[in-house]
Structure 1
């Protein structure tokens, strides 16, 4: 059965990656969250996407240059920023798909996962697989991972040119997480989805906010949709499961 990820929470305005946004998503029934992590200059890990705080807070500056106390003063859509540890502990029954945004957050992120013993709850992602591998290397237990851009390109080529994907990819990665298109190139073709699933990996598609696109992808057999619109996502998935 297919499922859905809430992308940075179900937010209003600039509330992305805040506690209230994830609480809204949880209330719709979503039990998989997609989030991002960066850390402060004193190594406290937060759910935060951008390199700078300019876009969604009232001040400007690089996230990594600010201390925990300074981050504590900031607001995104009127909401405080969310430490990753709080997110993990508030939702122990939720799978967290975490995008490792830079090198600086790798060791602090691993420390949070170890301290909370949340390995089974965590899936790591990044556009650069080296960051997910480096984080996983610091952990005492295995966590799920998805490939970065270079590996994903190779997987796509194997799927389309050969029709099968080498077993080494499924041995390392639980899922591929892809957009519907990369520029003019379609990514989520039926051939690609079939090859990935035959190889033993899941197909997750981001960021899907259109109901027709959701239906199209579910009919093609994707395993998960990542969406900003948690209520729509749950409605489509519920309707699809009852007619499947």
Structure 2
């Protein structure tokens, strides 16, 4: 059965990577993963927004990519060391902080692709997404962290689980299974997954090939490639058969998707 996150939505899927910050927005200080960035992606027509989850010192899940505030605000502290109110003040001139609960409630038409970025975020992240699980896909580089979120949602006993994509170790096993042409290993590795969200390459290793895409599709799993910003790369990957693109320029990606549809 297709998870609701995937149902009744146009394909290819164009995922707004941390929202949308245009060059003009960047000049005036708008930051990725801010309220303004998510709102801009929604206004541009994005159905899907990819974001990242960290836990504040006082236990609120916020959308923020880095472990620390250094790159976005110049403050060297970790997100986990800062309370929500102070973080709101720091982000006020950068598009506004957005919590996970606020994102899910303020944008009811958006389907969120949420990366659990740090250990300790799982329980509260699960509580926040449980009422909205039909429009959430849980991801993480750490398979263990991703699974902890899913188990915490399941333990609530309330409705369906969110969709999910593979972590780094699982992706490595998929690449191995494709390389050695082991359908048995592939089936076992892809069990319980809805998507493989991967870069086109990892160093010298090319991950996204026609064999990789075909193998995922044989087992009912989609392939989403990150982070793809150039139109020619978007067209090339879509021609290869990938199901989705994660991009910093969702406005450009939606135009390309309309051209090739």
Q: Aligned partners of 2:242, 2:163: CA distance in 1, in Å?
A: 18
Are 2:83 and 1:67 equivalent residues in the alignment? yes
Shift of the 129–76 alpha-carbon distance from structure 1 to 2, 3 Å rule, reads farther
TM-score (norm 1): 0.94
Per-residue Cα deviation, 1:50-89 (whole angstroms, up to 9, x for no partner): 0001111153311101111221211276222111111101
Residues 161-214 of structure 1 show CA distances to partners (whole Å, capped at 9, x for unaligned) of: 216353334431100000011001111111111111111100000000011110
After superposition, give the CA deviation of every residue in 1:215-236 in whole Å (9 maximum; x if it has no partner). Answer: 1100010000000001110100
Q: Structure 1 unaligned runs (5+)? A: none
- Tell me, which stretches of 5 or more residues in structure 2 are unaligned? 1-10
The answer on whether the counterparts of 1:96 and 1:122 sit within 8 Å (CA) in structure 2 is: yes
Choose from 193, 202, 211 the match for 1:173.
193
After superposition, the C-alpha distances for 1:19-46 in whole angstroms (9 at most, x for unaligned) are 1111111122110010000011111010
The secondary structure found in structure 2 opposite 1:225 is strand
Alignment pair present for 1:3 and 2:19: no
The match for 2:179 is 160
Structure 2 length as normaliser, TM-score? 0.88
Structure 1 match to 2:167: 148
Q: Would you say how many aligned residue pairs link Structure 1 and Structure 2?
A: 239
SS in 2 for 1:36: strand
- Equivalence for 2:6: none
When the two chains are superposed, the root-mean-square deviation of aligned CA atoms in Å is: 1.4
Tell me, yes or no, if the aligned pair for 2:34 and 2:94 is still in contact at 8 Å.
no
Select 2:142's aligned residue among 125, 128, 132. 128
